[in-house]
Structure 1
């Protein structure tokens, strides 16, 4: 764990910019609509109707859980300071953004960052770390450290993840990052659906928070860059796996290396499939 200390909201829209694949999909939908809807055959029995309803409800549940649905969440084109302003208007002085990196990989730690931005010196260009190039993340990382009031980072190892589960480990990393700050924040904005127990202050969970709040976006960048650097060092120590390239995610190269050389204790997560299925816990 380490920390650093130094002494017009965007309009909201009900959609996100379409990526190329989405553009093709939208075009396909337009063509289908102009040609007329496909013929619909209603269920022929009460059992078939019940099954149809069950499938529809499953689809609705899946869409509710897909937090990037533009119809479910009013997400701005880029993260802004509106969430922080709302809290500041209530007299809360220091707002901390918290996010983590590394939930999904087969190897490496989960890393969390907590960032309190200076409202009089906000960095430009902050965004969800996943929407930035590696070079842009590195540049913003240095800017965040230079301009933020305080930054704290904490991580839990692959062994710690295996000892509990990834959700609990991620929440614990966020808790540790929050208590590592050099000042006590008044409120925390956390990316996701859960407020970690034991935070240094009260908190609010924001689904897709790294695309809504620049404080969370800053934390996502710090967490991602910190973890990527850790995985580069791990890759140098364990060359066959290419950890410095894919950061521990389940790429074809990574899976092939695990199958050939086996997982590395302390690096790989033995409770994650396919490692768990192939090598046991």
Structure 2
């Protein structure tokens, strides 16, 4: 059973990201402040939910949240500052967009940097322990999936609609065959050594 609150602060925000391990597309983060009485038997870490259930939860979270925000950070920024810093930056930007502002932040994982002097706690596997982090994980995942579905139309040969930019065999074979796009993360190892592109 997920817990409602960690700090005792009414405006506690949970934050999480999606797409860290992908070869293409943005890293996407969300921050969510849920009301004290929020209940959902369905809500869980987005990785434990089916796409159908994530899509069912998204409007429920958005309707009932006191505040929520989502941020996409593009591959150019990921390549410039690295994926860990980009993940943290996307979460920070989401927290900054919240209105009302949060008085405390709980973060999925073990790395974070303070934003606007708001106190925070990092929680390993927080998305399977606290509702607001789980809600943030659902929003980050659903918004990122929508983004990948849109850019799939532009470059259908990579089948991002299906693989969402993750390093599947099919995705890597398409990179080997068609090369890279503006959506690929050039600082990532896009292909195994034996399939390196001639650049």
Task: Tell me which interval the TM-score lies in, with the shorter structure as reference length.
Answer: over 0.9
In structure 1, distance between residues paired with 2:179 and 2:25: 15
In structure 1, distance between residues paired with 2:109 and 2:60: 25
In structure 2, distance between residues paired with 1:254 and 1:169: 23
Q: Deviations over 1:95-143 (max 9, x none)?
A: 1000000100000000000000011233332100000000000000111
Counterparts in 2 of 1:87 and 1:107: CA distance versus 1, 3 Å: same
Q: Which residue of 1 aligns with 2:107?
A: 190
Q: By how many angstroms is 1:280 displaced?
A: 8.2
In structure 1, distance between residues paired with 2:198 and 2:71: 28
Question: Is the 8 Å Cα contact of residues 24 and 75 (structure 2) preserved in structure 1?
Answer: yes
Q: By how many angstroms is 1:144 displaced?
A: 0.2
1:268 paired with 2:184, answer yes
TM-score (norm 1): 0.67
In structure 1, distance between residues paired with 2:41 and 2:12: 18
Question: Is the 8 Å Cα contact of residues 10 and 36 (structure 2) preserved in structure 1?
Answer: no
Question: Is the 8 Å Cα contact of residues 184 and 201 (structure 1) preserved in structure 2?
Answer: no
In structure 2, distance between residues paired with 1:280 and 1:177: 38
SS at match of 2:7: helix
Kindly report the root-mean-square deviation, in angstroms, between the aligned alpha carbons of the 2 structures.
1.7
1:206 paired with 2:126, answer no
In structure 1, distance between residues paired with 2:191 and 2:90: 23
Q: Which residue of 2 aligns with 1:137?
A: 54
In structure 2, distance between residues paired with 1:154 and 1:173: 6
Q: Which residue of 2 aligns with 1:87?
A: 7
Counterparts in 2 of 1:98 and 1:262: CA distance versus 1, 3 Å: same
The structure whose Rg is larger is 1
Q: Which residue of 1 aligns with 2:68?
A: 151
1:118 paired with 2:30, answer no
Q: By how many angstroms is 1:246 displaced?
A: 0.6
Counterparts in 2 of 1:206 and 1:280: CA distance versus 1, 3 Å: farther
Q: By how many angstroms is 1:275 displaced?
A: 4.7
Corresponding residue pairs, total: 197
Unpaired runs of 5+ residues, structure 2, are none
Q: By how many angstroms is 1:168 displaced?
A: 0.3
**Higher RCO, Cα 8 Å, sep 6+:** 2
Q: By how many angstroms is 1:274 displaced?
A: 3.0
SS at match of 1:142: helix
Counterparts in 2 of 1:121 and 1:243: CA distance versus 1, 3 Å: same
In structure 2, distance between residues paired with 1:261 and 1:197: 41
